[in-house]
Copies of this chain bind each other. A is one copy, B any other.
Amino acid sequence: MGEQSRPLRADAERNRRALLDAAAEMFREHGLEVGIAEIAQRAGVGRGTVFRRFPTKEHLIAAIVVDRMTWAADLGRQLLDAPEGGEALFEFLEQLVGAQQLDRALFDGLDEEWLANDEIRAAQSEFMAVLDGLVSRAQAAGAVRSDVGVLDVLMLFKGLWEAARSFPHAADAAHRQLDLIRAAIAPSAQPLRGRAPTLADAVLD
């Protein structure tokens, strides 16, 4: 997967960053439907330049998603080394919820639809590995029931995320719902149906 095809020329690199920043801002403010023309204008470049750097509008979006996802993975990795193994997972989710960093872009990137994109695929599996580590540590510490898997936790969190996006007026309820997630995966005598979905279940064949 060759992603480092020798450094760009100074002006090109500058334009690339300007485009990413402009796009991130426009997408956050006006949704994914903003035109390439507006983004190019705000970045101070011509329309054509966008497509010189990103083969398609979707690739531009993907680049932002990768940024956010990498940021989140880094955040989680730090917590993996925390002494309190039982709380690190919840601390992580709590920080994700509180972060301005990740608008809708981040978790939209966890859909299978996007998996076609190589860079997203890489960033995603990195993120999942970190989350998996946090879940395992929490289980080892007895803070999370042993019969749930990463995907179970991700599902619950995606729900919180999606809901917060759908009902911005009730957005302050996100922390509250984290309590519900905590309750859901707390140690329990009631077994869950079926077996925990593995990471492999989330990946295209």
Question: Which residues of A line the B interface, CB within 8 A?
Answer: 110-113, 148, 151-152, 154-163, 165-170, 172-173, 175-177, 179-186, 188, 190, 192-194, 196-197, 201-205
A91 to chain B, nearest CB (A): 15
Complex Cα–Cα for A185 and B181 (A): 9
Chain B proximity of A203: nearest CB distance (Å): 7
Residue from the list B113, B156, B173, B192 in contact with A197, Cβ < 8 A: B173
Offer 5 A-B interface pairs, CB within 8 angstroms, sorted by A.
A159-B159, A169-B203, A170-B201, A179-B192, A183-B184
For A113, the closest partner residue in chain B by CB is B166
Interface of A is mostly: helix
| Cβ-closest chain B residue relative to A185 | B180
Q: A175 to B160, Cβ gap below 8 A?
A: no
User: With the chains together, A157 CA to B166 CA distance in Å?
Assistant: 13
In the bound complex, CA of A172 to CA of B197 (Å): 9
Q: A184-B180, A188-B183, A197-B173 are in contact. Are A166 and B159 (CB under 8 A)?
A: no
User: Knowing A168-B112, A179-B190, A192-B180 touch, does A173 contact B155 (C-beta < 8 A)?
Assistant: yes
Residues in B with CB closer than 8 Å to A167 are 112, 151, 155, 197, 201-202
**A155 B163 Cβ-Cβ under 8 A:** yes
Q: How far is the CB of A157 from chain B (nearest CB, A)?
A: 8
Given contacts A180-B184, A190-B179, contact A158 B169 (CB under 8 A): no
Q: Given contacts A155-B160, A180-B184, A193-B176, are A166 and B201 in contact (CB under 8 A)?
A: no
